[in-house]
């Protein structure tokens, strides 16, 4: 292990403790590191190079037939099935949870011969109000319940209120918390304030997984995205997430590439692994394959698991199910045959 890695990771990481590997080196879960302003200032992002890389990936990476079906099933297992609408109801959440348990229609499952795989989504993501409803509907399934928090989606309520909101969702039984940063800290280069804010969220989350939403559509530049992601990881984020799904621009491949490479750099320097969650605007099965390929090429196979990769999605599952039905029957069905809730 290099001196930089040893500075943060302490002793050499042992395989039983590892949650991922990069370049043959096992990685620990992220526990955060002290804020390093020099590291943040050194961050760069070459926009034209990033765009060329993502454009070439989409053009040259494709999978077909049974291989495509296998990748799409993996996408389902890495999905946070989400409903975050102003007109959400308990009944809608219960229907969504039923879909989370059985994301692919039984007829398709039988035709594909995948009944033994027990395919289900990773989590259901809801507002705090519906945490208890989701927990009851998912009882015994192993599917986690994620709650959006900290003044979602703007993140502009007082810090004490945002921390209290985290604690209320945890008391209600949420397994994961998706938190929102103050974007103004990024614009002003107030990295200590951003670090302290996220560290306070981390402390409030306790053992629950914390996903830090950067709001990349609001951050204006790829350099801002990379810097904000790095600060979030230093402060103890388990995941960094692109968007709330409410911005004008949500998850894009260029933004995702910058965030994934920040995760890789952090892992190489600290010996700790952080997950990635693109959210908002990913609606087609083909797009899900693009993101899975990005993860595999940039971080490796160990990141292709729900522990380290999630799609924040509501409409994506329907198109994946249609593609799987085509694989099973040779025919495409209408979208209305694959309702979410």
Confidence band for 10, pLDDT divided at 50, 70 and 90: very low
Task: Determine the Cα–Cα distance for residues 336 and 279; give it in Å rounded to an integer.
Answer: 23
15 within some domain: no
The total of structural domains in the chain comes to 1
What is the pLDDT, as a whole number, of residue 9?
38
What is the pLDDT, as a whole number, of residue 61?
64
Task: Determine the Cα–Cα distance for residues 150 and 160; give it in Å rounded to an integer.
Answer: 9
Catalytic residue among 80, 120, 178, 238: 178
Catalytic residue among 99, 238, 277, 319: 277
Taking the whole predicted model, whether its pTM rises above 0.85 is answered as yes
Q: Is there a catalytic annotation at residue 178?
A: yes
What is the pLDDT, as a whole number, of residue 4?
45
- Indicate if the pLDDT at residue 15 is higher than 70: no
4 within some domain: no
9 within some domain: no
58 within some domain: yes
What is the pLDDT, as a whole number, of residue 16?
64
Q: Mean per-residue pLDDT for 319-338?
A: 85
Residue 226 belongs to what domain range? 29-330
49 within some domain: yes
Q: Is there a catalytic annotation at residue 64?
A: no
Please state the φ and ψ torsions of residue 180, each to the nearest 5 degrees.
-115, 135
Task: Determine the Cα–Cα distance for residues 128 and 114; give it in Å rounded to an integer.
Answer: 34
DSSP sequence for 274-287: -EEE-BSS--SHHH
- Indicate if the pLDDT at residue 179 is higher than 80: yes
What is the pLDDT, as a whole number, of residue 2?
41
Structure tokens at 198: 């996220």
Question: How far is residue 57 from each of residues 50, 61, 257, 297, measured CA to CA in Å?
Answer: 11, 6, 11, 10
> The domain spanning residue 90 has which CATH number?
3.20.20.70
339 within some domain: no
- Work out the percent of the chain whose per-residue pLDDT is above 70: 94
14 within some domain: no
35 within some domain: yes
Catalytic residue among 80, 211, 241, 290: 241
Contact 144, 160 (CB under 8 A): no
């Amino acid at each position: 292990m290099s001196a930089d890695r040893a500075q943060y990771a302490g002793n050499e990481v042992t395989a039983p403790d590892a949650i991922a590997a990069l370049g043959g080196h096992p990685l620990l879960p992220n526990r955060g590191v002290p804020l390093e302003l020099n590291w943040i200032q050194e961050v760069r992002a070459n926009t034209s190079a990033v765009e060329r890389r993502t454009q070439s990936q989409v053009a040259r990476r494709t999978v077909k037939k049974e291989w495509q079906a296998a990748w799409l099933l993996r996408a389902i297992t890495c999905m946070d099935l989400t409903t975050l609408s102003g007109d959400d109801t308990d009944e809608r959440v219960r229907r969504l949870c039923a879909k989370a348990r059985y994301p692919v229609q039984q007829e398709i499952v039988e035709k594909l011969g995948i009944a033994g795989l027990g395919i289900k989504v990773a989590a259901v993501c809801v507002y705090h109000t519906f945490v208890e409803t989701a927990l009851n509907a998912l009882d015994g399934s192993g599917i986690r319940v994620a709650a959006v928090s900290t003044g979602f989606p703007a993140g502009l309520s007082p810090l004490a209120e945002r921390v209290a909101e985290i604690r209320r969702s945890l008391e209600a039984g949420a397994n994961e918390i998706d938190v929102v940063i103050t974007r103004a800290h990024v614009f002003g280069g107030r990295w200590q304030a951003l670090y302290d804010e996220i560290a306070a969220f981390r402390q409030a989350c306790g053992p629950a997984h914390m996903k830090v939403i950067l709001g990349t559509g609001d951050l204006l530049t790829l350099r801002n995205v990379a810097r904000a992601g790095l600060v979030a990881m230093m402060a103890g984020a388990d995941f960094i997430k692109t968007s709330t799904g409410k911005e004008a621009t949500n998850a894009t491949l260029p933004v995702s590439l910058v965030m994934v490479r920040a995760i890789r750099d952090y892992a190489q320097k600290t010996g700790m692994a952080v997950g990635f969650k693109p959210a908002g605007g990913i609606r087609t099965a083909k797009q899900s394959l693009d993101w899975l390929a990005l993860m595999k090429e940039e971080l490796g196979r160990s990141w292709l698991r729900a522990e380290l990769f999630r799609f924040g999605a509501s409409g994506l599952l329907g198109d994946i199910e249609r593609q799987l039905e085509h694989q099973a029957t040779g025919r495409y069905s209408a979208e209305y045959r694959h309702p979410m809730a």
